[in-house]
A and B are shown apart, each in its own frame.
Chain A
Amino acid sequence: MIMVVDDDEPIRNSLRLLLMGEGYQVETASDGGDALKKLGIVKPKVILLDIMMTPIDGLAFLKTLKEKGLQKNYAIFVMTAMTGIVDELKEMQSKGIIRDFMIKPFVFSDRLLEEIHHIVTT
């Protein structure tokens, strides 16, 4: 299963459909708080995470996961339009908190879809 966390409904929905077309079960959440709540029920292997969300943003979500020691359970891909936090994201990537990040607007590369496929099927 894959979880898509984005507060923009059209983006959330189109990503859900894109991944559904690839044959994955998809759960969506509208902010960090919603995602944390749903992670108590579903167990996705991959999380696609937006950063700028209200009320609970992506960074706060990551912080909570880390505090609970849960971030290792998920392969987290950050999607953001905020180029100002690239250094912070690189550091998180090197620490293994997130798997990778994409700067919006972006198109899913074949490589990324293969990587997701690999994570979900193993």
Chain B
Amino acid sequence: MEDAIPISTNIYSISKDFLQFFDISPDALLIIDQTGTIIVINTQMERIFGYSQLELLGQHVEMLLPECFRKIHVSHREHFFADSRQRPMGIGLQLFGLRQDKTEFPVDISLRPLMLENKLHVIAAIRDMTAQKRAENELKSLYEQQKRYNTFLSMASHELRTPLASIQATTQMFSRNLIRLYSPILEKKKMTIEATQEGLAEMTNQITRLNRLIGDLLDISRTNDGHLSFSFSDFEIGELVRDIVNMLQKTVSTHTISIHGKGKQHIYADRDRIGQVLTNLLTNGIKYSPEAKDIEVSISRAADSVIISVRDYGIGIAREYQPHIFEQYYRLVDDEHKKYAGLGIGLYIAAEIVRRHNGKIWVESEEGKGSTFSFSLPVDKGVSV
């Protein structure tokens, strides 16, 4: 035993001076005896824990702990009295207190042995760490956000550069081929013509891709400052689905997109934006199912909404990632997903558009078996824009 402070005061008649001295501390202070009984507290104790002095004095100190820690605390306490030494704050233990209203809160505690009437006691200082923990968590989440944003920026430059590099190589080919095609002694003329024709199609593809990327980048900056604009009208959703599917099918030879569901469903929504959501889900489905060839779109009716689902038979999404995929800048970076290009903002924008229509968006997926992305839109005019 070391550092014990000898105090000759009778603990049941502690002087006013001593209590005032106790009260000046910004931390909650309490003294307990060997049985764990609370002998003295300061006013901060009442404030932090929400008990009155009368409710605390004479009670076991364990009442201030969450239920699950009480038993172990008794043995910790006995251990401390058997080999008591000073224990400072901030040694990294995750400690919790229990308020009178049964809410738990993070605390830091320092302990010090204290001799009162020749008996060993313990004086404890308790600091409410709620605000600090909240600040720490906020800082951590800001840091995470910043990290994601930086990854997003480097991904975005890579994503923009790839189609540009492709267009650059293709234009180089055009200029070389132009000269070669006029040459009277050109060998393998057929190959050159073929490459030029294919090159034009490839370049058109890449320009479309650049356009979509830049559109997404614009959309994300607009959602961030709340300026994503909408233009609502009445239309039949099935017709839009057919339009989008027909348009996409023209550029996709690897997959067959089929439409299921009957009946006409009229909704009041932004036709272009809903088309954008569907295009995003379809291109994702195609992208993440390189080994499969079927994509199924279904239109179904629930009580007061219409549900559009896009099903693929691709690589799927592990359960632990599923809650995050609609978050901003979230991109799966496991080996299976790393090889797929993308900015990690398409689903976020889609979710934002659906939310602005008072709809819902969700995913059901099993790794290795595929995913079904669905969104619902209200069929009445319950729209808040």
Contact = CB atoms under 8 A, between A and B. Distances in A.
Contacts of A104: 165
B383 to A, nearest CB: 39
Contacts of B198: 17, 20
B204 to A, nearest CB: 12
A17 to B, nearest CB: 5
Main secondary structure of the interface of A (DSSP, over half): loop
B192 A105 contact: no
A14 B338 CA distance: 22
Given A22-B176, A23-B187, A55-B339, A14 B192 contact: no
Given A17-B195, A108-B172, A11 B162 contact: yes
A69 interface: no
Nearest to B209: A10
A11 B191 contact: no
Contacts of A14: 165-170, 173, 199, 202, 206
Contact of B195 (A11, A20, A31, A107): A20
B338 to A, nearest CB: 5
Contact of A15 (B161, B169, B205, B341): B169
A70 interface: no
A21 B209 contact: no
B250 interface: no
A21 B206 CA distance: 19
A18 B170 contact: yes
B171 to A, nearest CB: 9
A7 interface: yes
Contact of A21 (B161, B177, B205, B338): B177
B163 interface: yes
B161 A105 contact: yes
B196 interface: yes
B335 interface: yes
Nearest to A7: B339
Contact of B166 (A7, A11, A22): A11
Range, interface on chain A: 20 to 34
Contacts, number: 82
Contacts of A107: 168-169, 172
B173 A17 contact: yes
A10 B162 CA distance: 7
Interface in A22-72: 22-23, 30-31, 54-55
A8 interface: yes
Interface string B238-261: 000000000000000000000000
Contacts of B202: 10, 13-14, 17
A9 to B, nearest CB: 8
Nearest to A79: B165
A20 B341 contact: no
Contacts of A31: 339
A114 B170 CA distance: 18
28 contacts: A8-B166, A8-B341, A10-B163, A11-B166, A14-B165, A14-B167, A14-B169, A14-B170, A17-B169, A17-B173, A17-B199, A17-B202, A18-B170, A18-B173, A18-B176, A18-B195, A20-B198, A21-B191, A21-B195, A21-B199, A22-B192, A23-B191, A23-B192, A30-B339, A54-B338, A105-B168, A107-B168, A107-B169
The 5 closest A-B pairs by CB, nearest first: A10-B166, A21-B195, A23-B188, A14-B169, A14-B166
Given A11-B169, A108-B172, 15 more contacts: A8-B165, A8-B166, A8-B341, A10-B165, A14-B199, A14-B202, A17-B169, A18-B170, A18-B172, A18-B173, A18-B199, A23-B188, A55-B335, A105-B168, A107-B172
